Amino acid sequence: MKLTLIGSGNLGKQLYLEFLKHPSIELIQWMDRSATATTTPENIELINSIDGLKEADCYLLAVSDNSIEQLAVQLPKEALIVHTSGSTGLNFVSETRRSGVFYPLQTFSKDRAIEFLNLPICIEASHEKDFFFLELLAKRLHASPLRINTQQRKTLHLAAVLVNNFTNHLFAQAEQICKKNNLPFELLKPLMFETVNKLDSLDPKEAQTGPAIREDQKTIEAHLEIIESPQLEKLYNLLTDTIINYNKNEKL
């Protein structure tokens, strides 16, 4: 299984380190457009341009969504070209090219190692034999391949943004409020962990607590008096109204 990895962002670096753990995956080259060296410390050939590419079974694009198509059209026409995006379609080059998707359903941050064991990886391919290739690649990482279509993956990506990116932004807002009032953000971590952990036994609707679901206007107004940012005030009101209306609709 000869691979060339293209991209050195958060996901690209994670995939590089993970591929090195599995001898059955032969990483031919790693392309980093900012690279100045010719090899990595682990003795993998490092290139900074498409011009230096060697032949491989698969070219894996761990790059931004905006860069996928412009890189893909420059790759060998007979090759299997795979992207790692949650929101880009399968036929990102053309309907006649061999294309695939290898989308790990996880958040990746700089200098933080991620465990691939049982990690869901969404797989799609334009040819059946290429699907089995990607499924085998996921299994060699000890991940959990999941065969879904483009629309399902895009929907799953939306759901992932809600539970990860949006909630993390709320964490950032909460941290800022704590700092301004000389409170340690760490005090909230047991609450944050319990919020997620109780979803093992409750669905999100049943797990909902707080002043909005109780329609506790006195507490809501007290919170709004504390909030200084107009944007956060707008967000607080929007989420409060959403929770209230969602709960009312569920009762109908």
Q: pLDDT digits over 165-192, tens only?
A: 999 999 999 999 999 999 999 999 999 9
Whether 93 has a pLDDT exceeding 90, the answer reads no
pTM, two decimals, is 0.92
Other CB atoms within 10 Å distance of the CB of residue 141: 21
- Domain positions in the chain: 2-148, 153-251
Q: What is the CATH number of domain 153-251?
A: 1.10.1040.20
Q: What is the DSSP string of 184-246?
A: -GGGGHHHHHHHHHGGGTS-HHHH--SHHHHT-HHHHHHHHHH---HHHHHHHHHHHHHHHHH
Q: pLDDT digits over 25-45, tens only?
A: 999 999 999 999 999 999 999
Q: Which CATH architecture has domain 2-148?
A: 3-Layer(aba) Sandwich (3.40)
Q: pLDDT digits over 199-242, tens only?
A: 999 999 999 999 999 999 999 999 999 999 999 999 999 999 99
